[in-house]
């Protein structure tokens, strides 16, 4: 039996088909018409049951005949499947930061999620990269090349941007500023990790997990090895597909 | 048939255009949130009626009473004893302040990082959309939190008839004495305003009226202990909210009627939510009309709220005032005894609240607790840590929410509520 999971995120949409293992997966930009994008992505793919997660789950699920599950349960299930010894899952997407502590059996024990503010999310990194006139992928590399340390105090997207502007005006290196921004984000995330209680193994998923600098900083601050799945953006959809297979 | 209340609203000085906007928003929210619920008790039609006439018939009642010489007292807090107001033959109306309305105007006078509740009553006043405020002969503020007590100083400039009562912040003998002296001062103020001398007989009558209302609400709460839940948390919240401004005798009768009906429903095992629905206790800040945001999110995400550990909830109804005294002083002492037990987060230390949350979880057979704090409300945002610790140490699932009245974080709150309920169901 093939089950389908669909993660309708704020930035990307990814369907995963599962039948004893991942048989198909795609990641596409959400765009401004997520429903149409989902229909295109599912068109021609056959499955028995569909579970939808992510920001747009309630919009999409009823129209596609799917059930819904929160991203927190979905990421927990996906991470536990990939790494049965997962203890903590950090998921950073476009809009949200989620930190989830799992039981040994993979159940959600506690979780933390950012409130409305975009501080430290993928969106934040995107805005800051733009301010420093680099692409998102260059942004992390720029930070890793820093030879000097400066500090950014604000994590509010608006205030941090003005802090960045004043650091530029002070003549600071772009690489040092990029590193400072990554450090500020890493501190926020590790704060959330400590609130749920750090438990190894730590899995880092979601689009922002592709950021090598953040990955290194998280490992340094937490003092543990961070595991990034080979396809960090499909973990939620994989979890949803697993739940479609099991019955929620 | 609808009555035209416009002349009355005009005479109260309301801004009819802004008021129309408010009523439309309120009507739509009520339709979407309440009338769309399935399997509601028939007795809720009374509440539907009261809400539909919230700025109409009830205001007319207040104005009629005023024309007969009675006074209307607007309050913001469960520490203001309705017993005294009723004993002075005055009418008590709890002011709502539960909507994001007129915040732009409010923020001209208040810092942006002021809680929604305070901004809301400023917004209502500055926009001239609250007929209760305009009909009130006296508004009673209290020094529960720093935000409120400083805001009243500014508020006095736009509504001069505000009286501020000091509420103690600790539970020592001196604090109790302070509360008593403040209640005596309030009694004198009421006597001065109404020209009525509060005799033992009048006070006793006031106590009885409020006790009856509390007993009816406690009876309702006790019925919600049943599994399956016979009443939605949204409807229960609404009943608790309406308690603050409806006529106490009529309201008590309506609640008892709903209780009669619920007894039948409990006996028949009728339910308002599917089997296996997680039972949630909501704990924390007050939810004033029309703040239905969190309750709607929780119940819309597949939970059912079985109790409210809050002043719009069990603190308002817990503990009766002993009615047996025969002189004013004994009765005043009894009133102080009752109110001094309220375990609001303004008190330090406040271990009673932790005990009561734990007790309520057991009593209402709750599967988890959602702690609700308004953003920038220090007493609750800070105390939520200890509430969480206490509950977690007992293995009770808890989710801390900090939000305001705006709809912009509904998506994120829904994700958190759904994840919490999924976690409980496993």
Q: Domains of chain A by range and CATH?
A: 1-83+233-248 (3.30.420.40), 86-228 (3.30.420.40)
Which of A52, A98, A108 to mutate to test binding with chain B, by most B CBs within 10 Å of its CB?
A: A108
With CB atoms and an 8 Å threshold, state whether B422 touches A70.
Answer: yes
Query: How far lies B164's CA from each of A146, B161, B187, B189, B314, in Å?
Result: 58, 10, 13, 11, 24
Point out which residues pair with B400 in neighbouring strands: B371
Under 8 Å between Cβ of B196 and B89: yes
The predicted pLDDT at position A115 comes to 75
Conformation bin of residue A140: beta by default, left when phi > 0, alpha when psi is -120 to 50: alpha
With CB atoms and an 8 Å threshold, state whether A113 touches B423.
Answer: no
> What's the pLDDT tens digit per position in A234-243?
999 999 999 9
Distance CA A213, CA A136 (A): 12
Distance CA B163, CA B177 (A): 20
**pLDDT band for position A160 (cuts 50, 70, 90):** confident
> What's the pLDDT tens digit per position in A50-100?
999 998 999 999 999 999 999 999 999 999 999 999 999 999 988 889 999
Q: Exposed, middle or buried, B130 (CB in 10 Å: 0-12/13-18/19+)?
A: buried
The predicted pLDDT at position B96 comes to 83
Chain B positions touching A69 (Cβ under 8 A) are 418, 422
Whole-complex ipTM:
0.90
Using only the alpha carbons of chain A, give its radius of gyration: 18
| Strand B138-142 with B162-165, pairing | parallel
**pLDDT band for position A248 (cuts 50, 70, 90):** low
Nearest-CA distance B276 → chain A (Å):
13
DSSP string, A181-232: HHHHHHHHHHHHHHHH---SSEEEESGGGG-HHHHHHHHHHHTSPEE--SSG
Tokens for B232, please give them: 């939605």
Helix A157-169 to helix A122-131 angle, to the nearest 10 degrees? 30
The predicted pLDDT at position B234 comes to 98
Residue B308: DSSP 8-state: E
With CB atoms and an 8 Å threshold, state whether B419 touches A108.
Answer: yes
Nearest-CA distance B419 → chain A (Å):
5
With CB atoms and an 8 Å threshold, state whether B423 touches A71.
Answer: no
A222 at interface of B, judged by CB pairs closer than 8 A:
no
The predicted pLDDT at position A154 comes to 76
**Mean pLDDT value of segment A222-226:** 97
The predicted pLDDT at position B47 comes to 97
Under 8 Å between Cβ of B340 and B315: no
Under 8 Å between Cβ of A18 and A238: yes
pLDDT at A11 over 90: no
Q: Exposed, middle or buried, B184 (CB in 10 Å: 0-12/13-18/19+)?
A: middle
Long-range contacts for B264-269 (Cβ within 8 Å, ≥24 apart)? Answer: B265/B41, B265/B230, B266/B223, B266/B226, B266/B230, B269/B228
pLDDT digit string (tens) for chain B, length 426 residues: 578 999 999 999 999 999 999 999 999 999 999 999 999 999 999 999 999 999 999 999 999 999 999 999 999 999 999 999 999 999 999 998 999 999 999 999 999 999 999 999 999 999 999 999 999 999 999 999 999 999 999 999 999 999 999 999 999 999 999 999 999 999 999 999 999 999 999 999 999 999 999 999 999 999 999 999 999 999 999 999 999 999 999 999 999 999 999 999 999 999 999 999 999 999 999 999 999 999 999 999 999 999 999 999 999 899 999 999 999 999 999 999 999 999 999 999 999 999 999 999 999 999 999 999 999 999 999 999 999 999 999 999 999 999 999 998 999 999 999 999 999 997
Helix B293-300 to helix B233-242 angle, to the nearest 10 degrees? 160
Q: Three-state SS for B346?
A: coil
Distance CA A121, CA A97 (A): 6
Under 8 Å between Cβ of B227 and B304: no
- Produce one character per residue of B39-60: b if its CB has 16 or more CB atoms within 10 Å, e if not: ebbebbebbeebbebbbbebbb
Distance CA B256, CA B215 (A): 9
* Residue from the list B408, B416, B426 with its beta carbon closest to the beta carbon of A107: B426
* Mean of per-residue pLDDT scores for chain A: 92
Which of B300, B402, B412, B419 to mutate to test binding with chain A, by most A CBs within 10 Å of its CB?
A: B419
With CB atoms and an 8 Å threshold, state whether B415 touches A108.
Answer: no
| Strand A12-18 with B91-94, pairing | unpaired
The predicted pLDDT at position A201 comes to 97
Residues 6+ apart with CB under 8 A from B205: B86, B87
The predicted pLDDT at position A1 comes to 87
pTM of the predicted protein model: 0.94
Distance CA B354, CA B287 (A): 20
Tokens 């609808």 belong to which residue?
Answer: B2
Positive or negative, the CA dihedral A163, A166, A168, A173 is negative
Residue of B339, B332, B298 lying closest to B318 (CA atoms): B339
Which of B278, B395, B415 to mutate to test binding with chain A, by most A CBs within 10 Å of its CB?
A: B415
Distance CA A160, CA B56 (A): 49
Tokens for B135, please give them: 């009909």
Under 8 Å between Cβ of A205 and A235: yes
Distance CA B312, CA B78 (A): 8
First and final C-alpha spacing in chain B: 51
B415 at interface of A, judged by CB pairs closer than 8 A:
yes
């Amino acid at each position: 039996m093939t089950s389908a999971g669909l993660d309708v995120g704020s930035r990307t949409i990814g369907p995963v088909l599962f039948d004893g293992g991942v048989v198909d997966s795609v990641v596409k930009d959400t765009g401004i018409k997520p429903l149409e994008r989902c229909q295109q992505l599912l068109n021609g793919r056959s499955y028995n049951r569909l579970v939808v997660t992510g920001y747009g789950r309630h919009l999409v699920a009823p129209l596609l005949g799917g059930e819904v599950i929160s991203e927190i349960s979905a990421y927990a299930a996906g991470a536990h499947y990939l790494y049965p010894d997962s203890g903590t899952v950090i998921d950073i997407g476009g809009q949200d930061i989620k930190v989830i502590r799992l039981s040994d059996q993979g159940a959600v024990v506690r979780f933390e999620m950012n409130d409305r503010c975009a501080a430290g999310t993928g969106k934040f990194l995107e805005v800051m990269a733009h301010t420093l006139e680099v692409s998102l992928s260059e942004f992390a590399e720029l930070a890793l090349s820093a030879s000097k340390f400066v500090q950014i105090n604000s994590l509010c997207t608006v205030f941090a941007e003005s802090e960045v502007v004043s650091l530029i005006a002070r003549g600071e290196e772009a690489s040092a500023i990029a590193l400072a921004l990554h450090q500020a984000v890493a501190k926020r995330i590790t704060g959330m990790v400590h609130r749920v209680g750090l438990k190894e193994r730590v899995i880092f998923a979601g689009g922002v997990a592709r950021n090598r600098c953040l990955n290194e900083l998280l490992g340094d601050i937490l003092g543990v090895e961070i595991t990034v799945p080979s396809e960090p953006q499909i973990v939620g959809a994989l979890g949803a597909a697993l739940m479609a297979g099991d019955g929620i | 048939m609808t009555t035209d209340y416009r002349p009355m609203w005009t005479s109260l000085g309301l801004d009819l255009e802004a008021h129309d906007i408010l009523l439309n928003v309120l009507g739509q929210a009520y339709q979407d949130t309440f009338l769309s619920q399935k399997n509601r008790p028939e007795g809720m039609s009374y509440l539907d009626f009261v809400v539909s006439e919230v700025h109409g018939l009830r205001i007319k009642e207040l104005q009629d009473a005023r024309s007969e010489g009675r006074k209307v007292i607007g309050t913001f807090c469960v520490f203001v004893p309705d017993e005294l107001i009723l004993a002075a033959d005055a009418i008590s109306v709890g002011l709502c302040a539960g909507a994001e309305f007129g915040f732009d105007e409010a923020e001209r006078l208040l810092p942006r990082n002021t809680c929604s509740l305070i901004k809301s009553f400023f917004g209502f006043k500055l926009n001239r959309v609250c007929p209760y405020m305009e009909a009130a002969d006296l508004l009673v503020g209290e020094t529960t939190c720093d935000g409120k007590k400083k805001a009243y100083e500014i508020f006095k400039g736009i509504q001069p008839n505000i009286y501020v009562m000091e509420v103690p912040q600790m539970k020592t003998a001196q604090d109790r004495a302070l509360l008593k002296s403040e209640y005596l001062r309030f009694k004198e103020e009421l006597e001065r305003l109404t020209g009525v001398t509060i005799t033992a007989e009048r006070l006793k009558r006031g106590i009885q009226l409020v006790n009856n209302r509390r007993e009816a609400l406690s009876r309702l709460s006790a019925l919600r202990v049943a599994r399956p839940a016979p009443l939605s948390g949204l409807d229960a919240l609404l009943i608790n909210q309406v308690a603050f401004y409806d006529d106490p005798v009529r309201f008590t009768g309506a609640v008892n009627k709903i209780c009669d009906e619920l007894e039948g429903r409990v006996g028949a095992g009728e339910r308002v939510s599917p089997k296996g629905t997680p039972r949630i206790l909501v704990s924390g800040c007050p939810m004033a009309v029309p703040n239905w945001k969190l309750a709607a999110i929780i119940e819309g995400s597949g939970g059912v709220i079985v109790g409210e550990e809050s002043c719009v909830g069990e603190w308002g109804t817990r503990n009766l005032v002993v009615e047996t005294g025969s002189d004013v002083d004994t009765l005043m002492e009894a009133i102080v005894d009752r109110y001094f037990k309220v375990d609001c987060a303004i008190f330090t230390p406040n271990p009673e609240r932790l005990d009561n949350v734990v007790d309520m979880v057991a009593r209402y057979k709750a599967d988890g607790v959602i702690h609700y704090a308004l953003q920038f409300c220090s007493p609750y945002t800070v105390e939520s840590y200890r509430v969480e610790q206490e509950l977690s140490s007992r293995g009770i699932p808890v989710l801390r929410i900090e939000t305001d009245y705006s709809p912009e974080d509904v998506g994120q709150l829904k994700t958190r509520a759904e994840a919490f309920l999924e976690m409980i169901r496993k």
